[in-house]
Amino acid sequence: MHLKIQPPNPKATFQKEDIFQRKNFANTLTKIICSSSDPLVISLEAQWGDGKTSFIYKWCNELKEASVSVPHIYIDAYKGDFHSDAFLFLASEIYAFAKEKLVNDDELLTSLKDNIKAVGGALLKGASKTALQVLTGGMFDSKAMDNLEANISDEMSKATDLFISDSLESYQTRKDEINDLSETLTLLSNSLAGDKKPLVIIVDELDRCRPSFALELLEVIKHLFTAKSVAFVLVNNSEQMNESVKVRYGSGVNAGAYLRKFYDLSFSLPKGEAYDVTDTEIEHFALENIIHASEVELIGSNKIAFYIRLLHRHIDLSLRDIEKIAVVIAIMSKTTSFRLSEIPAVCCCIAVIFLKDRTLLQRVYYDQITRNEIDTFFKYSHLVTKDEDYDAMMELFFCFADPRHVPTGLAGDLGDKVKKSRVSIRSSVLAGLLTMQI
């Protein structure tokens, strides 16, 4: 059983899967970036669970295609969150990319390394071995670094002090060094794709970083790495970024206004309306995640996927929600004495309530849930008898109803299932879920 949510597939493409029909948005984003040679910083915003990384992976694969062929770097900011310095992290990522691509251009690679060393020189004093290796382009191995620290710490300190002193005395010198780095980045972009297409640097997972590190990355990008023919795309949850600003500068600061200083353009990732997504796509996505979480195709998986599709239509379920529901269902399959195929509607409803409303889940466990609460949560009052989902949704509704209140048309087999489900959900299934967090 896999208890971790299935990670986005780096090889995914819009051609194979485009549940929220975002290919057109990706094409628009590419056209906007490629139409500008100016320094560009774009904020791409979406809520957690809206598929930001999935979209970025597909877009990156689109950028690789021969018909598009836009050079790009994908950087997972969260993986660099342990760094104490945002400049060193970003510089190392760009340098590593350049070293891989500039196989026959040692001059440009050396220039980039020298520019990074110049701008980051003030960070040398007291830097770690890792930071020193980054700034020296990896020219020293670990053993050599030990000798370096032991033998030339005094010289390094003097050189660093001299650099800081010179920087304080000459603002223009620092400006020139930053300009040199900017010009080298432009040369890097031109070297990779000519002067008609920019280098796109995508920084993902920004909102998952420590507030201080996330904001330092923004400042470093805007002030040290902006360059002609270079476009940064910063993927983030704007609400979380606003909170990061408040953590650093206080609750009274206008976080939105502060962040807008760093962006030239902002876009919200199209979420897609529920009815824009085909039922087949949602069912397939749900089934795929149930199988991944359970490691086998459970008996009843198809029916559960069908119910997930129904609930996706009627309540607000994101793709991340569906992934988590699949994990909960896998856990339920291991902890209940009943087969999921006997009570698929119950399993689906319990998993959704677990995810959305823990207080309501407790009321289900203690058999205190009312018809009104069920109706409010699942939005049954919005249905009319002519709706194509009416009968199936009514079956979901009566999973929690008193068997005596099941309408005549739904009695018999369903009534027996309801009785079984009420016993099942009040045993080990719910008892375990009430103490769990995902």
pLDDT at residue 387 greater than cutoff 80: no
What are residue 200's DSSP bridge partners? Answer: 72, 231
Give the best-scoring range by mean pLDDT among 92-96, 325-329, 363-367: 92-96
| Alpha-carbon gap, residue 409 to 379, rounded angstroms | 21
pLDDT of residue 128: 43
CB count, 10 Å around CB of 175?
A: 10
179 or 405: whose pLDDT is higher?
179
| Alpha-carbon gap, residue 1 to 15, rounded angstroms | 30
Phi-psi region of 436 (alpha: psi -120 to 50; beta: other; left: phi over 0): beta
pLDDT of residue 330: 81
pLDDT at residue 343 greater than cutoff 60: yes
Task: Give backbone dihedrals phi and psi of 202, rounded to 5 degrees, phi first.
Answer: -100, 120
255 or 435: whose pLDDT is higher?
255
- Those residues whose C-beta lies under 8 Å from the C-beta of residue 184, and which sit 6 or more positions away, are 108, 111, 112, 115
For the segment 344-363, the average pLDDT, to the nearest whole number, is: 83
How sure is the predictor about 410, in pLDDT bands with cuts at 50, 70 and 90?
very low
Least confident of 170-179, 305-314, 369-378: 170-179
pLDDT of residue 417: 53
| Side-chain half-sphere exposure of 109, counting CA atoms within 13 A | 16
Instruction: Give ∠ CA 216-218-220 in degrees, rounded to 5.
Output: 65
What are residue 233's DSSP bridge partners? Answer: 42, 202
pLDDT of residue 396: 64
Q: Please state which architecture CATH assigns to domain 23-268.
A: 3-Layer(aba) Sandwich (3.40)
The proportion of the chain whose per-residue pLDDT surpasses 90, expressed as a percent, equals: 32
How sure is the predictor about 219, in pLDDT bands with cuts at 50, 70 and 90?
very high
For the segment 46-65, the average pLDDT, to the nearest whole number, is: 91
How sure is the predictor about 414, in pLDDT bands with cuts at 50, 70 and 90?
very low
CB count, 10 Å around CB of 171?
A: 9
pLDDT of residue 68: 77
70 or 336: whose pLDDT is higher?
70
pLDDT of residue 279: 72
- 3-class SS of residue 45: strand
Question: How does pLDDT run across 125-166, given as a tens digit for each residue?
Answer: 434 444 444 444 444 454 544 554 555 455 556 656 665 565
Where do the domains of the chain lie? 23-268, 275-433
pLDDT at residue 2 greater than cutoff 60: no
Mean pLDDT of the chain, nearest integer:
77
| Alpha-carbon gap, residue 171 to 162, rounded angstroms | 14
Please spell the DSSP secondary structure of 308-324, one letter per residue.
HHHHHHHS---HHHHHH
For the segment 259-276, the average pLDDT, to the nearest whole number, is: 79
Return contacts of 387-395, CB within 8 angstroms, 24+ apart: 389/310, 389/313, 389/314, 392/306, 392/307, 392/310, 393/310, 393/314, 395/345
Least confident of 55-59, 179-183, 265-269, 383-387: 383-387
Return contacts of 139-145, CB within 8 angstroms, 24+ apart: none
Q: Which amino acid belongs to residue 108?
A: L
Q: Which amino acid belongs to residue 219?
A: E
Please spell the DSSP secondary structure of 217-239, one letter per residue.
HHHHIIIII--TTEEEEEEE-HH
CB count, 10 Å around CB of 416?
A: 12
Q: Which of 221, 224, 213, 205 is nearest to 248 (CA)?
A: 213
| pTM score | 0.67
Q: Is 364:424 a contact under the CB 8 Å cutoff?
A: no
| Alpha-carbon gap, residue 93 to 400, rounded angstroms | 53
What are the E-state strand segments in 111-198? Answer: none
pLDDT of residue 214: 94
For the segment 33-43, the average pLDDT, to the nearest whole number, is: 91
